[in-house]
Every structure is written in C-alpha cells, then in structure tokens.
Copies of this chain bind each other. A is one copy, B any other.
Amino acid sequence: MIPGLKLYYDLMSQPSRALYIFLSMNKVPFERCPVALRKLQHKTTEYKTNVNRYGKVPCIVEPDFRLAESVAIYRYLCQKYRVSSYWYPEDTVRQARVDEYLAWQHLNIRADISLYFFHVWLNPLLGKEVNADKTERLRQRVDNGLNFFERTLLCNGKQPFLTGDCISIADLSAACEIEQVKIAGYDPCSGRPHLNTWMNAVRDFTNPYYDEAHKFVYRLAPEHIATPAVLDDD
C-alpha cells in the first residue's frame, strides 16, 4: 500500500459506500478507517479537529491534506490517481453532464431519499414519532423523484447510464443513494423496470465491491424487498 490515503467512512452512509466502491474498483490503495455514525463518532471534537471539520463522512486524509464531500473527492482522485476515464470523462461536454447530475442530486434524489429514510426508519429507533401524513408526503416525494429519474434521466431505458453509454461517478453515486430507501421498506424498482435494469447494470459492473459495500443495506432491508444474499462475515 502506498502509505497515506485513509478513507473515513460508514457503510450506512450512501456517499461512503459509493466512494468505497470507487476506490476498490480503481485499485487505489487506502487504509480503512470506519466511523460509527450510530455512535455519533463523526460529531466528536476529536473527529472534527483531526479528520473533518464539517463533521461528516466520507472524508479522505493524506499526510498533508484532508478532503470532505464525496463529489469533491472523486474529482481529486481522478486527477491524482490512474482512474479509468469513463468514471469522469475528460471531454468538456460529457464532464459537464456528470457535474450537472452530481450538483442536482443533493437537493433532489438525495434529499428525497434521506428525508424518507430518516423519518420512517431512523426516527422510531430514536424513540421519535412517525407521523402518517408526513410519511405520505415524503413517500410522494420519493415516488416523484424516482419516476423523474427513470423517465427523464434514464430516458425510459433508451439510455443505459445517466450520462450516456458508459457508467460514470454519477451512476455510482445515484445507485448507492437509491439503495438506501430499501432499508425503510420502499422498493425503488417496483413498477420501474428501467430503473431496475440500470441498478442491476451498476451492480454488475462494480461487483464484488458493490455487494460488499451494501451488506448492511441488504441485511437491514425488510423481507418483502428482494436483496442478494450476503455472507455473515462480521
């Protein structure tokens, strides 16, 4: 291992999973530094001082540089390491299309899914009330967001990946995000055959790392959501 690149992550975090898969796929050596979000390890003064001042995962730390935010980290790694060019194309127009998705997703697909996941799955664990009206409103947001994703961004299956014929960091980031909603008992692929095809394509392309990164998602998803079997390795 080239000494120096540490990844701070939690496999319960969508962008952590995507970055873990990206590093593994591209054979970038890294030291695994798990951070337990459930123990609020990312909120400690020590973590904020020594790892990530924003108090979030994922984050990379090198001897003389630290960087947070998966979208920024992808770009940094693509410049610094030998990474297959389809992940973040050099062509200005194709790169712009990847950038556009990665900027858009924060307040759309990512926000939609995170809000639903927090309200429906995390709130009961924290002893907080789950409000039926709010659940319905949030479910509607997820429905609309995933319908737009399938119909407009994937062009109803006419386009295999988000920005064209090749996978990119936009697809990887999106698939890891959408997997999260399964934990809350929502099947994103039900009634969305093109989304299903695309998710399988991202998974096939990035396995075995995709399944490795999603082992907790697969275990936590309720029975009515079909997920691959995972080995009970830890």
Q: Which residues of A contact B (CB under 8 A)?
A: 53-54, 65, 67-73, 75-76, 79-80, 92-93, 95-97, 99-100, 102-104, 106-108, 110-111, 152
Contacts and interface: CB of A to CB of B under 8 A. Distances in A.
Contacts of A97: 67
B104 A68 contact: yes
A75 B54 contact: no
Contact of A96 (B67, B108, B152): B67
A107 B71 CA distance: 13
Q: Shortest 5 CB-CB distances between A and B: which pairs?
A: A106-B106, A72-B99, A69-B103, A71-B103, A72-B100
Q: List the number of copies, as a whole number.
A: 2
A222 to B, nearest CB: 27
A12 to B, nearest CB: 17
7 contacts: A67-B97, A71-B103, A76-B99, A102-B103, A106-B107, A107-B110, A111-B111
A67 B100 contact: yes
Given A79-B92, A107-B106, A100 B53 contact: no
Nearest to A15: B103
Nearest to A71: B103
A45 to B, nearest CB: 12
A97 B107 CA distance: 21
Nearest to A105: B106
Contact of A80 (B67, B72, B92, B152): B92
A72 B76 CA distance: 16
A69 B111 contact: no
B152 A100 contact: no
Contacts of A80: 92
A53 to B, nearest CB: 5
Contact of A107 (B53, B95, B111): B111
A93 B65 contact: yes
Given A92-B80, A93-B65, A72 B103 contact: yes
Contacts of A73: 96
Given A68-B100, A72-B96, 7 more contacts: A67-B100, A72-B100, A76-B95, A80-B92, A106-B106, A106-B107, A111-B111
